[in-house]
Amino acid sequence: MTFLHAVWSIVVWLSGFVLQISVALVCLPLMLFVPFEKLQGGWPSTVVGFIPLLTRSKRTIHWDQGFEPKRISVFVANHTSMLDGHIAIHALPHPFCGVENASHLAIPGYGWLMRMANAIPIPKGVGRIDAVKDAARERASRGISVLAFPEAHRTMNGQLRPFRRGAFIMARDAGLPVVPFAIAGMYQVFPKGTWIVRPGHFEVYIGPTLETAGKTDDELEVLAAECSRIITEWCERRETVNPDPLLQTSRPGNRDALPNHRAGLAPVTPES
Protein backbone atom coordinates (compact mmCIF):
# COMPACT_ATOMS: atom_id res chain seq x y z
CA MET A 1 0.00 0.00 0.00
CA THR A 2 2.87 2.39 0.78
CA PHE A 3 4.24 1.75 -2.71
CA LEU A 4 0.86 2.59 -4.27
CA HIS A 5 0.66 5.76 -2.16
CA ALA A 6 4.12 6.74 -3.35
CA VAL A 7 3.22 6.19 -7.00
CA TRP A 8 0.01 8.17 -6.68
CA SER A 9 1.84 10.91 -4.79
CA ILE A 10 4.10 11.42 -7.79
CA VAL A 11 0.98 11.82 -9.93
CA VAL A 12 -0.45 14.34 -7.45
CA TRP A 13 2.74 16.41 -7.35
CA LEU A 14 3.15 16.47 -11.12
CA SER A 15 -0.52 17.17 -11.79
CA GLY A 16 -0.68 19.91 -9.16
CA PHE A 17 2.44 21.56 -10.54
CA VAL A 18 1.12 21.46 -14.12
CA LEU A 19 -2.27 22.86 -13.09
CA GLN A 20 -0.78 25.73 -11.09
CA ILE A 21 1.72 26.70 -13.75
CA SER A 22 -0.96 26.49 -16.45
CA VAL A 23 -3.25 28.81 -14.48
CA ALA A 24 -0.37 31.25 -13.93
CA LEU A 25 0.62 31.28 -17.60
CA VAL A 26 -2.96 31.95 -18.69
CA CYS A 27 -3.57 34.59 -16.02
CA LEU A 28 -0.39 36.59 -16.58
CA PRO A 29 -1.43 38.06 -19.94
CA LEU A 30 -5.01 38.49 -18.73
CA MET A 31 -3.72 40.60 -15.84
CA LEU A 32 -2.65 43.25 -18.33
CA PHE A 33 -6.36 44.01 -18.66
CA VAL A 34 -8.03 42.51 -15.56
CA PRO A 35 -6.76 42.75 -11.94
CA PHE A 36 -6.04 39.34 -10.45
CA GLU A 37 -8.64 39.83 -7.72
CA LYS A 38 -11.27 39.99 -10.46
CA LEU A 39 -10.09 36.64 -11.80
CA GLN A 40 -9.97 35.04 -8.38
CA GLY A 41 -13.32 33.48 -7.60
CA GLY A 42 -13.75 32.34 -11.20
CA TRP A 43 -12.23 29.47 -13.12
CA PRO A 44 -8.64 29.98 -11.81
CA SER A 45 -9.84 29.35 -8.26
CA THR A 46 -11.90 26.38 -9.39
CA VAL A 47 -8.83 24.77 -10.96
CA VAL A 48 -6.47 25.51 -8.05
CA GLY A 49 -9.13 24.50 -5.51
CA PHE A 50 -9.42 21.11 -7.23
CA ILE A 51 -5.79 20.19 -6.48
CA PRO A 52 -6.45 18.83 -2.93
CA LEU A 53 -8.99 16.41 -4.43
CA LEU A 54 -6.16 14.83 -6.43
CA THR A 55 -5.26 13.11 -3.15
CA ARG A 56 -8.47 11.07 -3.68
CA SER A 57 -9.91 12.59 -0.50
CA LYS A 58 -13.44 13.75 0.29
CA ARG A 59 -14.04 17.42 1.06
CA THR A 60 -16.74 19.10 3.15
CA ILE A 61 -17.05 22.82 3.79
CA HIS A 62 -19.07 24.07 6.80
CA TRP A 63 -20.17 27.70 7.15
CA ASP A 64 -21.19 28.81 10.62
CA GLN A 65 -24.51 30.62 10.91
CA GLY A 66 -22.59 33.57 12.37
CA PHE A 67 -20.28 33.91 9.35
CA GLU A 68 -20.91 37.02 7.24
CA PRO A 69 -19.66 35.99 3.78
CA LYS A 70 -19.97 39.39 2.16
CA ARG A 71 -17.67 41.17 4.64
CA ILE A 72 -13.99 41.62 3.89
CA SER A 73 -12.20 39.90 6.78
CA VAL A 74 -8.97 38.44 8.09
CA PHE A 75 -9.36 34.65 8.17
CA VAL A 76 -7.16 33.08 10.86
CA ALA A 77 -6.46 29.41 10.15
CA ASN A 78 -4.67 26.47 11.63
CA HIS A 79 -1.77 25.34 9.43
CA THR A 80 -1.93 21.63 8.65
CA SER A 81 -0.35 21.08 5.23
CA MET A 82 1.12 22.60 2.08
CA LEU A 83 -2.35 22.49 0.53
CA ASP A 84 -4.09 24.72 3.10
CA GLY A 85 -4.05 27.68 0.72
CA HIS A 86 -5.58 25.58 -2.05
CA ILE A 87 -8.32 24.47 0.34
CA ALA A 88 -9.05 28.08 1.26
CA ILE A 89 -9.28 29.08 -2.40
CA HIS A 90 -12.19 26.67 -2.80
CA ALA A 91 -13.87 27.38 0.55
CA LEU A 92 -13.80 31.18 0.80
CA PRO A 93 -16.56 33.12 -0.94
CA HIS A 94 -14.48 35.97 -2.34
CA PRO A 95 -10.94 37.02 -3.32
CA PHE A 96 -8.26 36.88 -0.64
CA CYS A 97 -4.49 37.10 -0.32
CA GLY A 98 -2.01 35.42 1.99
CA VAL A 99 0.58 36.81 4.39
CA GLU A 100 4.15 35.67 3.67
CA ASN A 101 7.67 36.34 4.92
CA ALA A 102 9.17 38.85 2.51
CA SER A 103 12.00 36.41 1.71
CA HIS A 104 9.47 33.90 0.34
CA LEU A 105 8.42 36.35 -2.36
CA ALA A 106 11.97 36.34 -3.67
CA ILE A 107 11.87 32.59 -4.41
CA PRO A 108 11.78 32.04 -8.21
CA GLY A 109 8.47 30.58 -9.34
CA TYR A 110 6.73 30.42 -5.97
CA GLY A 111 7.42 34.04 -5.13
CA TRP A 112 6.20 35.18 -8.51
CA LEU A 113 2.92 33.32 -8.01
CA MET A 114 2.46 34.84 -4.56
CA ARG A 115 3.11 38.35 -5.88
CA MET A 116 0.58 37.76 -8.64
CA ALA A 117 -1.92 36.71 -5.95
CA ASN A 118 -1.46 39.99 -4.02
CA ALA A 119 0.41 38.36 -1.11
CA ILE A 120 1.30 40.67 1.78
CA PRO A 121 5.06 40.48 2.54
CA ILE A 122 6.19 40.61 6.16
CA PRO A 123 9.47 42.56 6.23
CA LYS A 124 12.12 42.25 8.91
CA GLY A 125 13.05 44.94 11.39
CA VAL A 126 11.36 48.01 12.81
CA GLY A 127 8.08 49.06 11.23
CA ARG A 128 7.02 45.61 10.07
CA ILE A 129 3.62 45.80 11.80
CA ASP A 130 2.85 49.18 10.23
CA ALA A 131 3.87 47.88 6.81
CA VAL A 132 1.64 44.81 7.12
CA LYS A 133 -1.42 46.68 8.39
CA ASP A 134 -1.04 49.31 5.65
CA ALA A 135 -0.88 46.53 3.06
CA ALA A 136 -3.96 44.84 4.58
CA ARG A 137 -5.85 48.14 4.46
CA GLU A 138 -4.85 48.61 0.81
CA ARG A 139 -6.00 45.07 -0.09
CA ALA A 140 -9.30 45.64 1.71
CA SER A 141 -9.87 48.83 -0.30
CA ARG A 142 -9.78 46.60 -3.40
CA GLY A 143 -12.24 44.07 -1.98
CA ILE A 144 -9.57 41.52 -0.99
CA SER A 145 -9.71 39.62 2.31
CA VAL A 146 -6.62 38.22 4.05
CA LEU A 147 -5.75 34.64 5.05
CA ALA A 148 -3.27 34.35 7.92
CA PHE A 149 -1.77 31.44 9.86
CA PRO A 150 -1.18 32.76 13.40
CA GLU A 151 0.79 29.61 14.31
CA ALA A 152 3.43 30.78 11.78
CA HIS A 153 4.42 27.18 10.94
CA ARG A 154 2.71 23.95 9.93
CA THR A 155 1.85 21.60 12.75
CA MET A 156 4.26 18.73 13.40
CA ASN A 157 1.81 16.56 15.34
CA GLY A 158 -1.67 17.62 14.26
CA GLN A 159 -2.15 19.86 17.31
CA LEU A 160 -2.51 23.64 17.24
CA ARG A 161 0.48 25.75 18.21
CA PRO A 162 -0.22 28.91 20.24
CA PHE A 163 -1.70 31.72 18.14
CA ARG A 164 0.45 34.83 17.83
CA ARG A 165 -1.45 38.10 18.00
CA GLY A 166 0.15 39.81 14.97
CA ALA A 167 -2.68 38.84 12.60
CA PHE A 168 -5.22 40.20 15.07
CA ILE A 169 -3.38 43.52 15.43
CA MET A 170 -3.23 43.72 11.64
CA ALA A 171 -6.98 43.11 11.43
CA ARG A 172 -7.87 45.72 14.05
CA ASP A 173 -5.57 48.39 12.65
CA ALA A 174 -6.83 47.74 9.11
CA GLY A 175 -10.44 48.00 10.31
CA LEU A 176 -11.33 44.35 9.59
CA PRO A 177 -13.05 41.61 11.60
CA VAL A 178 -11.50 38.16 12.05
CA VAL A 179 -12.99 34.78 11.19
CA PRO A 180 -11.73 31.44 12.59
CA PHE A 181 -10.94 29.05 9.72
CA ALA A 182 -10.47 25.43 10.80
CA ILE A 183 -9.04 22.61 8.69
CA ALA A 184 -9.49 19.08 10.02
CA GLY A 185 -8.24 15.84 8.48
CA MET A 186 -5.61 17.30 6.18
CA TYR A 187 -2.79 16.48 8.57
CA GLN A 188 -3.62 12.80 8.02
CA VAL A 189 -3.70 13.29 4.24
CA PHE A 190 -0.50 15.31 3.78
CA PRO A 191 1.48 16.04 6.97
CA LYS A 192 4.67 18.06 7.17
CA GLY A 193 7.85 16.05 6.72
CA THR A 194 6.71 13.75 3.91
CA TRP A 195 5.94 14.07 0.23
CA ILE A 196 3.55 11.11 0.24
CA VAL A 197 -0.20 11.81 0.30
CA ARG A 198 -2.85 9.42 1.54
CA PRO A 199 -6.60 9.48 0.85
CA GLY A 200 -8.80 10.77 3.64
CA HIS A 201 -11.65 13.16 4.38
CA PHE A 202 -10.75 16.76 5.11
CA GLU A 203 -13.31 19.20 6.43
CA VAL A 204 -13.28 22.97 6.71
CA TYR A 205 -15.19 25.06 9.20
CA ILE A 206 -15.58 28.80 8.56
CA GLY A 207 -16.54 30.21 11.94
CA PRO A 208 -18.43 33.31 13.06
CA THR A 209 -17.32 36.80 12.09
CA LEU A 210 -15.74 38.39 15.18
CA GLU A 211 -15.20 42.11 15.63
CA THR A 212 -11.79 43.64 16.40
CA ALA A 213 -12.74 47.33 16.41
CA GLY A 214 -11.84 49.17 19.60
CA LYS A 215 -10.05 46.24 21.23
CA THR A 216 -6.83 46.80 23.16
CA ASP A 217 -3.75 44.65 22.58
CA ASP A 218 -4.62 42.67 25.71
CA GLU A 219 -8.15 42.12 24.45
CA LEU A 220 -6.74 40.92 21.15
CA GLU A 221 -4.75 38.32 23.10
CA VAL A 222 -8.06 37.08 24.48
CA LEU A 223 -9.58 37.10 20.99
CA ALA A 224 -6.64 35.10 19.62
CA ALA A 225 -7.13 32.52 22.38
CA GLU A 226 -10.86 32.40 21.60
CA CYS A 227 -10.20 31.76 17.89
CA SER A 228 -7.71 29.04 18.83
CA ARG A 229 -10.29 27.46 21.13
CA ILE A 230 -13.00 27.53 18.43
CA ILE A 231 -10.69 25.89 15.90
CA THR A 232 -9.38 23.30 18.37
CA GLU A 233 -12.84 22.30 19.58
CA TRP A 234 -14.21 21.98 16.09
CA CYS A 235 -11.25 19.94 14.84
CA GLU A 236 -11.58 17.59 17.80
CA ARG A 237 -15.34 17.17 17.42
CA ARG A 238 -15.55 17.57 13.63
CA GLU A 239 -18.70 19.62 14.07
CA THR A 240 -19.51 23.27 14.54
CA VAL A 241 -20.45 24.85 17.83
CA ASN A 242 -23.66 25.75 16.02
CA PRO A 243 -25.56 22.45 15.63
CA ASP A 244 -27.02 23.50 12.28
CA PRO A 245 -24.11 24.55 10.03
CA LEU A 246 -24.52 25.40 6.38
CA LEU A 247 -22.62 23.13 4.01
CA GLN A 248 -20.99 23.99 0.69
CA THR A 249 -19.41 21.78 -1.94
CA SER A 250 -19.21 23.91 -5.08
CA ARG A 251 -17.19 27.13 -5.03
CA PRO A 252 -19.28 29.94 -3.53
CA GLY A 253 -17.99 32.30 -6.23
CA ASN A 254 -17.81 36.07 -6.23
CA ARG A 255 -18.96 38.03 -3.18
CA ASP A 256 -21.48 39.95 -5.29
CA ALA A 257 -23.08 36.68 -6.43
CA LEU A 258 -23.80 35.45 -2.89
CA PRO A 259 -27.45 35.24 -1.85
CA ASN A 260 -28.74 37.92 0.51
CA HIS A 261 -30.45 35.37 2.70
CA ARG A 262 -28.47 32.56 4.29
CA ALA A 263 -31.45 30.24 3.93
CA GLY A 264 -30.61 30.09 0.23
CA LEU A 265 -27.50 28.03 1.04
CA ALA A 266 -29.03 24.57 1.22
CA PRO A 267 -27.29 21.60 2.94
CA VAL A 268 -25.61 19.17 0.57
CA THR A 269 -23.63 15.94 0.78
CA PRO A 270 -19.81 15.77 0.96
CA GLU A 271 -17.82 15.60 -2.26
CA SER A 272 -16.14 12.37 -3.22
**How far is the C-alpha of 192 from the C-alpha of 157, rounded, in Å?**
9
The pLDDT of residue 268 is above 60: no
**How far is the C-alpha of 33 from the C-alpha of 118, rounded, in Å?**
16
Q: State the pLDDT confidence band at 265, using cuts at 50, 70 and 90.
A: very low
pLDDT tens for residues 159-201? Answer: 888 898 889 999 999 999 999 999 999 999 999 989 999 999 9
Per domain, the residue ranges of the chain are 2-260
Residue with more model confidence, 252 or 38? 38
**Best CA proximity match to 1, nearest among 199, 272, 202, 201:** 199
**How far is the C-alpha of 184 from the C-alpha of 35, rounded, in Å?**
32
The pLDDT of residue 227 is above 80: yes
Which letter does DSSP use for residue 243 in this model? Answer: S
The pLDDT of residue 270 is above 60: no
Q: State the pLDDT confidence band at 16, using cuts at 50, 70 and 90.
A: very high
Residue with more model confidence, 6 or 267? 6
pLDDT tens for residues 44-83? Answer: 888 999 999 999 999 989 888 889 988 999 999 999 999 9
Q: Which residues contact 7 (CB under 8 A, 6 or more apart)?
A: none
pLDDT tens for residues 28-45? Answer: 888 888 888 888 878 888
- Predicted TM-score (pTM) of the model is 0.87
Topology, domain 2-260: Glycerol-3-phosphate (1)-acyltransferase (3.40.1130)
